[in-house]
Each structure stands twice: as structure tokens, then as C-alpha cells.
Structure 1
Amino acid sequence: MTALTEFQRLEAQGSWRETPDARLREVIVSVGDATLILSDPKSERPLSHWSLPAVTRLNAGKMPAIYAPGSQGADETVEIDDPLMIEAIERVQRAIAMHRAHPGRLRGVLTVIAAVLMLAGLVIWLPDAIIHHAARIAPPAQTRQIGEAVLTDIERSTGSICQRESGRAVLDWLAPKLAEDNAILQVVPGALNGALRLPGNLYVLGGDLLVGAAGPEAAAGHIVAAGLATDDLRVTRDALEHAGLGAVLRLMTLGDIPASAMEGYGEELLSRNLPRPQDDILLEQLAERGLGSEAYARTLDPTGASVPALIENDPARTAPTGKPLLTDPQWLALQQICAG
């Protein structure tokens, strides 16, 4: 033991009693690596080995010092009156005591660290978990409310949604054909460079895709693409992450979300690149709806250089000529939805 480095060759006389009824017998007491060795002084034959960590003094403060190889009830004892040997053994006792104290302190430190880490984990993880849970369990009415709150913030940048009645009727007719049965399509006068999907199956289209366009195919392609690029759960979760934990807790407990919760989120959405689905998936869905892809592709890149698959594999090139998506009066009404 390191506490006895200077005493490793220490020896002293002692009186050993092998059993409580035995006579005292003179022995040589020496300190080994981790043992107390009791030897016959004439033959130097070891008579007993005691584990130093287990050695116990039975008469603290008295002389000669009496030690046992274990607790008070041990059969063997040895009496030692050599101060240096006593000091050596006592130093071992102090070293053992300190060593035994460390694990407790270490456990305490580890417990505190674990508690801090758990608390930090809860602080970091719990708000996210609550927000994601709220997005999963939100009923359609709540997700629609969230989407409308986002749209209200978007209108700050794009202008108010267009409400001309004849154009509104065309959007309502198109919604189940291009998106979900319960989808709502809205048009804002400002440019969006495509279509945005908002919570509650709410889709927003920029007026730039209607004014001056040859037909509705490009706008229709953007609506289909927006529905494929993400889902309602994802856009709802993203919006609630912006709103923050306080607004989400209010939504879960009171059923509504503060009007200010989405402030700035519309501008943030407009600054992002719109997500796009994989070309093959989009082509398949456009073909199912009897729509072409080239008009959509040209709004992404007028040269077509970055979207060759959408142009070369346009479903309209191989599909038989069918009924157009909109009649001329419907298309005209949709183009004028923001007029007046």
C-alpha cells in the first residue's frame, strides 16, 4: 500500500495469542505488501498472516496496542508496544478510512452530475417532445387554425388573400382534384415562386403563376408538388416549433393559439426555398391527374437545363388528349381572382 512505502521492511516485537485461551507467545511482527506477518523469532517461520485493511485496534489510546485480524470478536490478537510499528499500522487505518470515504463522495458527485444531466435533458428534450406530441394529436380544426394564423402572417408580405367570388369557386372545385378532399386553396397577389403547404391542408398559391400564364398547368403542378414534398404533420410541427412551448401549451389546454404566435413565421417561410418532391413521384402523380409537367418545370427553370427529366418525361406527351383541367371561362375567372 502506498501509505506504507517507507515501512515496507519494518519489523517489531509483539506478543501473539492464537486463541483467547492460549498463552501469549513472542513473535516478530513485520509489514508486508498488504499483510501483517507474525513470525516465530527463532525459526522465522510465519505463524499467521493478517490482511492489513482488516486489522483492527481493540484498545485505542492504550499501551501496549492490541490488534486483531478483524472485528472485536476475532480469536487471534497481538500486542505491540513499538511506537513506529503502531504508527505504521495506524497510518494504514487512516489511508483505508480515506479510501472508503472516496466512493461515497464519488457516488454523491456522480449522482449530482446525473441529476444535472437529467434536468438538462428534460429542459432540452421536453419542450420538443411536447410540441411534437401536440402536432400529432391536434384535430383538423386546430391544424386549420394554425394554418390560418400562418397565412395571416404571410399576408403581411404578399397582400391579402384574393377573394373574388368567381375565382374562389374555381379554387374550391380544383382543391380535391389537386390535393386532399378537405384541402383549401388560396391565392395571394404577391409572388411566391410556387405554392406553399400550410397546416390544416391549406395551400397558398402566388398570383404570379396565374397572371400572364398560358394555362393552369403550371399552377396545378405547383399545388401537387407542394402536397407531395411534405405532409400536414410536418408543416404543423414546424409552425408549432416557431410558436414556442407557451403557445403550444395554450393550444393543448384552451384549444386556441395566440394571434401573435406566428408573427414573423410567414416571412421566414417566404425566405426559404420551396421543397420539391422527387421527379419520378411528381411525374406519376401528375399523370394520374391527367396533367403535364413541362409548364411546371419551366417556372422552375425557363431554360429547362436543371429540370430535364420533368420536360423529357412530360406525361402529356404520351397521354391521349383529354379534357382540359379548366374550361376557358374557369381559367379566366381564376386569373381574375385578385381583380376588384
Structure 2
Amino acid sequence: MARRRKTALKKFERLESLALWRSEPDAHRREVTLSFGMSSLIITDHAERPLGHWSLATIERLNPGGSPALYAPDSEASETLEIEDNLMVEAIETVRKAIGRKRPKRGRLRLTIALSASVLIFAAVFLALPKTLRDQASRSLPSATRAEISQLIKEELWKTNGRPCSTAFSKNAISRLQERLFEPFSSNQITFVKFAGDDVWELPDGTFVVGSALVEDFDTPHVVAGFIAAAILEAERTPAIDAFVNSLRIFELIDLLTSGTVSGQAASRFALQMITAPSGLKVDDAFVDFAQEKELALSALIGAVTPLEGSSEVLNEAVNNNQAIATPIMSDGDWVALQAICEDRT
């Protein structure tokens, strides 16, 4: 049965009940404890460890009138809760109806943001903002916000390395690289900056920023293609938006989730983190498979770069056993133009 404490409804001090929680569509159901608070449903395990927070303003009923009641945190229904406790269901429905009846349509987003902010502040102060909330933030950011974040990071990178390099003659070469490495109709792009290191940085909007040394210091485009390929695989393992969200301080994260804004300080700190991170080519089985799929010349990477620890053996073995045929990425004229892309930068 539900226990009474302090809630959004005056008739209850607070409500707690058991429920069955499914963390994702394919996950098994798990018995959890629900706490009905001032602006949210708080989900905990039986050891009182937090598992999630649902804003009362956005909860959706998936089976109106059905039993047990089935709820989701939003219209995407990425998680679900099955609740049999009639008192808890009555409280949730009361709040849902009150919000739907009273709030103006134009103010819905504002109310949702305010309630979400309350949840996030509670989590930040009392629960140290669990990793699951950061993961949720990474998944929920719209493309427009990712583009704004990327632009801020770019501005910080440009302060250190200068504006992106571009010439009329190099555009075709960049297009050839993008066609070889990215999937058809991909929105990913490649841009070059004047930089002496062998770095490739992925930004939250899918842009890959490449240091010009990777084309200036080598005789074949297969070297720069190999480094970009490694960055693509690393982005699949740890997307740039995840790395950026994880770099945010608690209240910076709250600002991002509630208002969609990021401070210049946060962008500057992340850009510095990117620039100072250890560089090098990570060669593993996934890289070898990807390189062979894209018909890259693995042999071009031997001696041209200093791979990360453990990568040299994998690279040498792959070259010795590689039966795939590498194909030209671009014409000699395009390659010469790409090598000169940052020629006018000092």
C-alpha cells in the first residue's frame, strides 16, 4: 500500500508504492519503488539507489483505463512503469489532468522546463547527478543544439589553430575523402586546420576536424584516410556529444537541459581537453575490418605514424595477412591540392 508524506497534492504528505520498471523496450521488468514528489516520480531500487526521475509534466499513459496502469516518461516510451497501486495511479492521473487543463498551450514547454529543472536540481544536489541522467541528456539534445555547441567549440579551436583551411582546388579532394569514408547521404563533414599533430577531432554535429600535418607530411592520402577512419570508429564507441556532456559541471548540465544553452567557458574547457588529449592511431580488429571495407592501404600506415601501445602488432599482422585490394582515393591532382590546403597559413 502507498505511504503518506509531502507531494504535489495537498491531500497527501507523500506517496510511495511498488511498480514494475522496464528500463528499455527489450529489457526485463524489474520491481522498483516509486516516490511521488513535488514535481516528479523518483524510481529507486530496494536498496534506495536512484534509477531515474520522471517529470510529472511529461508522463504519458499508454493504456488509458487499462489495468495495471502503464506509463512512459514521454511520447517516445523508451522506459515503462506498470503500477497496480490504485492510490498512486489516482495521484498521477490527478496531476496529469490538472496540468493538461490549466497550462496554456504556448506555456507547455516553459512548465516542462521548470518542472524538469526542479528534478535536475534535486538530483544534482542530493544524488550527484547519476550517469544515467547524463546519458539521457546526450540522447535528448536536438540537432540544432548540437550544431550550436559545435560552433562554440570550433570558435575555441580556431583561436588556437586559426580558421579552417580551404581552397577552391581542395574541395574536390575533400569530397573524395568523405565519399570513401562516410555512409551514403551522411551529414558528416571533414574540415582541415593548420596543426602539426596527427590529430582528428569529432565534434557533436558530426564534423571531423583534421590537422594539416596528416596531408603535408605524407605521400599518400591513405594515411589521412586511416586516421579519419580511426576517429570514425572512436566516435561510434564514444560519440563527441557524450564526451562533451560528461565534461560539463553539474549546473552547466542543468542549464543545457533546461534552456538549451552552453557557456563559452564550458566550450573552451572541452576544446582544450580535445587538443591536449593523447594522440596516435588506434589499430584494432575493428579498424582493420573498416579499413579493408573502405579499401584503404594499411601498408601506408607502417612507418608513417606511431600507433598507440599494442597497435603496431595488429597493424603489421593485418598488412601481412591482408588480401584486400586498396584502391585510389583521389586523383594525383586532387591529392596535390589537398596537401596545399593550409599552405597560406602560418
TM-score by length of 2: 0.55
Q: Is the 1:194–1:219 contact (alpha carbons within 8 Å) kept by the matching residues of 2?
A: no
Distance 1:201 1:175 in 2: 12
| Aligned equivalent of 1:148, options 132, 151, 154 | 151
Q: Cα–Cα, structure 1 residues 124 and 182, in superposed 2: closer, same or farther, change >3 Å?
A: same
Residues 321 and 183 (structure 1), Cα distance of their counterparts in 2 relative to 1, 3 Å cut: closer
Q: In the alignment, which residue of structure 1 is the partner of 2:236?
A: 231
Cα deviations across residues 108-141 of structure 1 (Å, max 9, x unaligned)?
Answer: xxxxxxxxx9978853432755433221111233
Report what 1:207 is aligned to: 212
* Residue 164 of structure 1 pairs with residue 197 of structure 2: no
The equivalent of 2:6 in structure 1 is none
Summarize deviations over 1:150-202 as a string: whole Å, max 9, x none: 23222232222212233234223422421351111111101232312221211
State the AA in 2 paired with 1:163. S
Confirm or deny: 8 A CA contact 1:136 1:233 kept in the other structure: no
Q: 1:176 to 1:234 in 2, by over 3 A?
A: same
Given residue 151 of structure 1, which amino acid in structure 2 is its aligned partner? K
- The 1-side partners of 2:337 and 2:188 are apart by 20
Tell me the amino acid that sits aligned with residue 140 of structure 2.
I
CA deviations on 1:207-257 (whole Å, 9 max, x unpaired) are 111113101011000000011123386321221233434443443344443
In structure 2, which of residues 333, 336, 341 is the aligned counterpart of residue 337 of structure 1?
A: 341
Are positions 1:220 and 2:225 aligned together? Answer: yes
- Assess if the C-alpha contact under 8 Å between 1:191 and 1:206 holds in 2: yes
- Residues 250, 216 of structure 1: CA spacing in aligned structure 2 closer, same or farther, 3 A cutoff? same
Superposition CA RMSD, Å: 3.3
Amino acid at match of 1:210: V
Uncovered stretches (5+) of structure 1, i.e. residues with no partner: 1-116
Alpha carbons of structure 1 residues 330 and 251: separation in structure 2 relative to 1, 3 Å? same
Aligned residues: 223
Q: Is contact 2:252-2:263 (8 Å) kept?
A: yes
Identity %: 22
Asked if 1 retains the 8 angstrom alpha-carbon contact of 2:166 and 2:341, the reply is: yes
Contact 2:201 2:208 in 1 (8 A): yes
Query: 2 CA distance for matches of 1:237 and 1:213?
Result: 32
Once the two structures are superposed, residues 14-33 of structure 1 have per-residue CA deviations (whole angstroms, 9 ceiling, x without a partner) of xxxxxxxxxxxxxxxxxxxx
1:188 aligns with 2:193: yes
Give the structure 2 partner of residue 91 of structure 1: none
CA distance in 2 between partners of 1:321 and 1:232 (Å): 26
Q: Which residue of 1 is the match for residue 270 of structure 2?
A: 265
| TM-score between the two structures when normalised by the length of structure 1 | 0.56
